[in-house]
Structure 1
């Protein structure tokens, strides 16, 4: 217990240092303004010029109206500090040395991803109405694969048990990449196996986001792993110099690669609650997919891109290529998204394409429903045209303010005919979309602005894969364990809840 307390205390101390650094910068600016109070006319003129420049930057860099309106409201309410917040966390795609490094590593990684013409032709023959989805992702540099098989896991604990079995058989390397790493009973099991495999000569790398794991993954974890010949790296570390990179531009990807032949991805992080070891928010509902075959290469490349982004050494990609071939049972197209893509966003675009092209149904699971007007319009249009549109969100939430915004978005969708279910046993954390029995996406994408624009994410588009049937049945089962939201009851929310939700929605793109 003392060790856990010390670990969390160290994490909170890092947060406190970062907050104090930010506050000191704001105070210095406030003092500067106070010194200039005798020059009120000039200060007022400067603020007006800043306002004009900010509006120009917002309009030119951010075509999304929801994002633009949010920042304009903040700047209107807080004329001075609003500018500070905007220039810290509101500007366009990630820039600076870190941004250049990430872009350089991603461009290098794309050079190792080659699309086989035969695979595209076979997809065209087998699923002619789905080829445009694959061609869109291929245009952004992500190949589609056929020589791949998959397994679906309806719960995090099932995924982790299978991962441990595969890791036990590893002979070459093991890559683990998660937003959150938390020491606990789950990690203890993984650590024991990973340390043993490292001693056997297997290369082990662990990558986690520094913001997501600031409290849960202390320096002692990194040091302990290093002593056992396991490489651990923090993505986009939080330093004492406050920057806009603290909250935005985080690595939300979830990837595990074993020997280049097997990979896992989905919604779960490496922590006890994701395996239902303890009920942090009731029953934790998460899902994952296991890939075996050629498609694993894309996930290996994604891991190496993110690893090299914060490492002075460049990985030798060819060392980690797949060594086994399997017979394909469908089409698999792993892809990524992130702030470097703005204003193009493959994750958001593929979701919209699936929804707008649905003929019979589209089912979605998401922990957060914080969507902009464009996504609301696509969902409404699909439902109004007779498509069976259903969304499953959590009944038990992890962030009350995000849940309030999620529920505030129900009304417009319910009126259009979208069916919404809240998963009552606990927290719905699964991130999936499927349509018409033959294609869908599973990965790390939440249905919110932050996931589509601010975070580095990953997913897999599937067509004709047998696991799509498993995904559909699992979503239907979640609906059966959920409560369908009725528009009339939604309208009867207390007046103060409606007011709070309206206020929070103004800042929804920042949540």
Structure 2
């Protein structure tokens, strides 16, 4: 209280006797604000405690990152365009209605939930390949760019400088010069170094259209939350081929090598077939929303893409403002639907109590639940917070494996070896509540078998956490983990 006394007394000239009164008024008014916006209980309590203990700092932080606004102007634009977008997705759901009949019984409920709130339907006739080497993936990107005939649409959270990521940029410039329409949409914060480099001017000079998503604007934090980010990874070629997964446009040999966690380990899928048009539609929507020159969503008619394979799949996008909380519902439903086995790979593990209880309940009813996370993490606070969940999960029968072959960045959920959710989604509050994310849901035994093989390779490079040894860790570590856990709703 002495710090508050000094600040209020010095800044506003208050008599010290008024400080407790002002403090109480701040806390009461803030409490009413929390009640009015109906935040999740854990989040609300965490913010309330921060404001009680550090009122000036707490209120300042809450204004910056406490709620989920993307700005009034952008919110109105998203809502307007979402109505225009809904007409296209409704037509798509109607067109592919018959494909639902091919769904296995185990995947029908999940598919219906994923397509709710203007989502994409399940579509048959796709060919899906899984790629696990980042350098090979970057070379495939270059090859795809060199062979493109009409359009190249790229949407990433991070485009890092150096290595083979630069080679992708050079290939894109060459494609634009030969007449291919190229659009690049990158998150402002994730790709901040790229935007400060010479690449944006080089791209625009070559005819490549570049848009900065959710730009950080000093002075507008009170209108737009600064940490709402475009976290998607989408690369669409000629509206017929799409790449998606966990990998940013980075060369792992040079990306974040000073973080002490080793190379980032990623995986991507290459998709040919009609589901590619769903990713193209999502890219077009994001491009229209983030491009200030566009006021209405253009009625992009999904291309009549030939059916290249036999895989059932659907694109699954999520984000604040539109399709709000659908990701949380899908993950919760997937966990509850599991009957035999559930495997999760995620670099950042920080779910809320609802998902933790669902995982524990799954293990309790006999499902073999395995969580694979990196042993070393580039975010110390996230690592400590995730450790606070270990004891309860292991007591319930959940297996926890820590990957020591680098920073495991692959994000996947494998349910009963029959359904896979694969994409940009981390198993944390940020992906669930704050980021614009993209995933592919696959209903195919052959693909799930390939994903299981990849997961087994991760397990071969992992240490299984021993619950007996874990229970003997020093008391100071338990206290630190529990303290970090208090911040988990805010991470």
- For the criterion TM > 0.5, the same-fold answer is yes
Q: CA deviation at 1:45?
A: 4.3
Instruction: Give the aligned partner of residue 145 of structure 2.
Output: 167
Instruction: Give the aligned partner of residue 443 of structure 2.
Output: 463
Structure 1 pair 214/116, CA: closer, same or farther in 2 (3 Å)? closer
Question: In 1, are the aligned partners of 2:141 and 2:168 still within 8 Å (CA)?
Answer: no
Q: Which moved more, 1:444-453 or 1:237-246?
A: 237-246
1:441 partnered with 2:391: no
Instruction: Give the aligned partner of residue 32 of structure 2.
Output: 56
Question: In 2, are the aligned partners of 1:259 and 1:322 still within 8 Å (CA)?
Answer: no
Question: What are the Cα deviations for residues 62-110 of structure 1, in whole angstroms up to 9, with x where unaligned?
Answer: 4422211211121121123212221221124434112222333333333
Structure 1 pair 387/50, CA: closer, same or farther in 2 (3 Å)? same
Structure 2: tracts of 5 or more residues without a match: none
Looking at structure 1, the residues matched to 12 and 257 of structure 2 have their Cα atoms a distance apart, in angstroms, of 54
Structure 1 pair 403/167, CA: closer, same or farther in 2 (3 Å)? same
1:340 is paired with a residue of what secondary structure?
Answer: coil
Looking at structure 1, the residues matched to 354 and 256 of structure 2 have their Cα atoms a distance apart, in angstroms, of 39
1:154 partnered with 2:132: yes
Q: CA deviation at 1:118?
A: 6.8
Looking at structure 2, the residues matched to 189 and 290 of structure 1 have their Cα atoms a distance apart, in angstroms, of 20
Looking at structure 2, the residues matched to 369 and 248 of structure 1 have their Cα atoms a distance apart, in angstroms, of 18
Question: In 2, are the aligned partners of 1:301 and 1:317 still within 8 Å (CA)?
Answer: no
Match of 1:262 among 230, 241, 246: 241
Q: Which moved more, 1:300-309 or 1:191-200?
A: 300-309
1:37 partnered with 2:5: no
Looking at structure 2, the residues matched to 39 and 505 of structure 1 have their Cα atoms a distance apart, in angstroms, of 35
Question: In 1, are the aligned partners of 2:126 and 2:311 still within 8 Å (CA)?
Answer: yes
Looking at structure 2, the residues matched to 454 and 277 of structure 1 have their Cα atoms a distance apart, in angstroms, of 23
Q: Which moved more, 1:331-340 or 1:259-268?
A: 331-340
Q: CA deviation at 1:120?
A: 4.1
Q: CA deviation at 1:483?
A: 0.3
Question: In 2, are the aligned partners of 1:180 and 1:209 still within 8 Å (CA)?
Answer: yes
Instruction: Give the aligned partner of residue 248 of structure 1.
Output: 227
Match of 1:214 among 164, 183, 192: 192
Looking at structure 2, the residues matched to 390 and 83 of structure 1 have their Cα atoms a distance apart, in angstroms, of 39
Looking at structure 2, the residues matched to 351 and 397 of structure 1 have their Cα atoms a distance apart, in angstroms, of 23
Looking at structure 1, the residues matched to 272 and 263 of structure 2 have their Cα atoms a distance apart, in angstroms, of 29
Question: In 1, are the aligned partners of 2:288 and 2:297 still within 8 Å (CA)?
Answer: no
Looking at structure 1, the residues matched to 317 and 333 of structure 2 have their Cα atoms a distance apart, in angstroms, of 16
Looking at structure 2, the residues matched to 219 and 154 of structure 1 have their Cα atoms a distance apart, in angstroms, of 29
1:67 partnered with 2:67: no
Instruction: Give the aligned partner of residue 24 of structure 1.
Output: none
Structure 1: tracts of 5 or more residues without a match: 1-26
Instruction: Give the aligned partner of residue 203 of structure 2.
Output: 225
Question: In 1, are the aligned partners of 2:277 and 2:305 still within 8 Å (CA)?
Answer: no
Structure 1 pair 292/75, CA: closer, same or farther in 2 (3 Å)? same
1:201 is paired with a residue of what secondary structure?
Answer: coil
Instruction: Give the aligned partner of residue 6 of structure 1.
Output: none
1:101 partnered with 2:77: yes
Looking at structure 2, the residues matched to 325 and 212 of structure 1 have their Cα atoms a distance apart, in angstroms, of 35
Looking at structure 1, the residues matched to 127 and 298 of structure 2 have their Cα atoms a distance apart, in angstroms, of 23
Structure 1 pair 57/331, CA: closer, same or farther in 2 (3 Å)? farther
Question: In 2, are the aligned partners of 1:329 and 1:465 still within 8 Å (CA)?
Answer: no
Match of 1:296 among 262, 269, 276: 276
Match of 1:336 among 308, 317, 323: 317
Give the aligned length: 482
CA RMSD of aligned residues (A): 2.6
